[in-house]
Amino acid sequence: MALAPLLCAGLIGWRALTMAGQGRRLGLYGFGAAAHIVAQVAAWQGRSVHVFTRPGDRMSQDFARSLGADWAGGSDQPPPEPLDAAIIFAPLGELVPVALRAVRKGGRVVCAGIHMGRDANLPHSNRARIKGQVAPMS
């Protein structure tokens, strides 16, 4: 039973982390079970982890820092430095353009949620690579 979280959240998180590439500065949008695991793994790998939560959610931001995040703030805040990659776990399509603005030119944005809300208006740009995957969960 202790390993059960690794079988769903761990797999979703690991797949998203590998799709994000080897960049040093990683942003995580949404801080549920998969992001909890990814934050710890990425910090262990020596990456700089930036966690974005609901604006004002200080408890989740403090928890993110306790798991190894270098920075934690609301999704309405820019990161302190451009990100190499961002993973969106939250089911909010409006976070896609937010993440695109946060990554450096040539960076990656991975949409990792099982469900993503309405598609956001995406800017047409070669600034970042958006990665996603549709795969059966069973």
Tell me what pLDDT residue 12 has: 84
CB atoms under 10 Å from CB of 75, counted, come to 22
Residue 89 lies in a domain: yes
Q: How far apart are CA 39 and CA 79, in angstroms?
A: 16
Total domains in the chain come to 1
What is the identity of the amino acid at 42? A
Task: Give the domain range for residue 95.
Answer: 4-132
Tell me what pLDDT residue 135 has: 44
Residue 30 lies in a domain: yes
What's the rounded mean pLDDT across residues 33-53? Answer: 96
Q: How far apart are CA 129 and CA 113, in angstroms?
A: 17
Residue 117 lies in a domain: yes
Residue 138 lies in a domain: no
Q: What is the pLDDT of residues 78-98, one digit of tens each?
A: 999 999 999 999 988 889 899
Residue 137 lies in a domain: no
User: Which domain CATH number covers 82?
Assistant: 3.40.50.720
For the entire predicted model, the pTM comes to: 0.84
Residue 47 lies in a domain: yes
Q: Name, in order, each residue with C-beta under 8 angstroms of 102's C-beta and a sequence gap of 6 or more.
A: 27, 78, 79, 82, 83, 86
What's the rounded mean pLDDT across residues 32-50? Answer: 95
